[in-house]
Amino acid sequence: MLDPFMRRLIDPPLKGMALIWPRRVSANQITIFGFVLGVGCFLAIATNNMMAALVLLGLNRFADGLDGAVARAQTPSELGAYLDIVSDFVLWGLLPIGFIILDSGNAIAAAVLLSSFSMSMTVFLAFAIMAEKRGLETDAQGRKSFFYVAGLAEGTETIAFFAIVLIWPGVFVPAAFIYAAIVYLSVIGRIASSYLVLKDLASDTKAD
């Protein structure tokens, strides 16, 4: 929901950095390094080093934004797009597990949260495949190598959620249930919007 607003804020400085970025450091290398930082965040959570986890998460998200800007300034590739989305989805799957390792009392809330994430990712990627077949494009969340269908819970909201529970880990259980509910609502909204778009496309095809 907040991603389009955030893109307008962060895209110009990232684009400026990408223009002066050394070409010997590729976008894919930035993606991989960012993912390593994300794994470090997971390990910091599991070992109760929340300040380190917060810093590593911030650096991971910075790398996630920079790699795309560098790719667009240099040479975008299907491999880069693949690495980018896989590293993001793996990270969001790892961090709740870190909270389970930290405290087994977080297990049920983390499981519900992971369930909502998996549903959101499935709906997101399933529509992206259909959109690719139809040649649909959007740049509402920035220029992507795949169709990005918007939702109530997106990257900005997910980062905010994890920042909150890293600063106040004691609120993980209620916060996880609340955010999972928001993600479930986002899933329902994405299914509904995807259904309408695909239904209209099917109608247009029959009309032709």
Walk me through the domains of the chain, giving residue ranges and CATH numbers.
3-207 (1.20.120.1760)
Instruction: Residue 159: name the closest of 11, 63, 54 by CA.
Output: 54
**Measuring CA to CA, which residue among 140, 142, 144, 153 is closest to residue 189?**
153
pTM summary value:
0.83
For 1, the token pair is 């929901």
Q: Which tokens is 63 given?
A: 């790398």
Segment 148-179, tens digit of pLDDT: 455 667 888 999 999 999 999 999 999 999 99
Say how far apart CA 5 and CA 143 lie, in whole Å.
14
Nearest CA-CA partner of 11 in 141, 166, 181, 203: 141
> Of 67, 95, 93, which is closest to residue 82 (Cα–Cα)?
67
Are 56 and 108 within 8 A, CB to CB? no
Which has the closest alpha carbon to 166: 64, 96, 104, 108? 96
Q: What is the pLDDT of residues 93-148, one digit of tens each?
A: 999 999 999 999 999 999 999 999 999 999 888 887 877 776 665 554 444 444 44
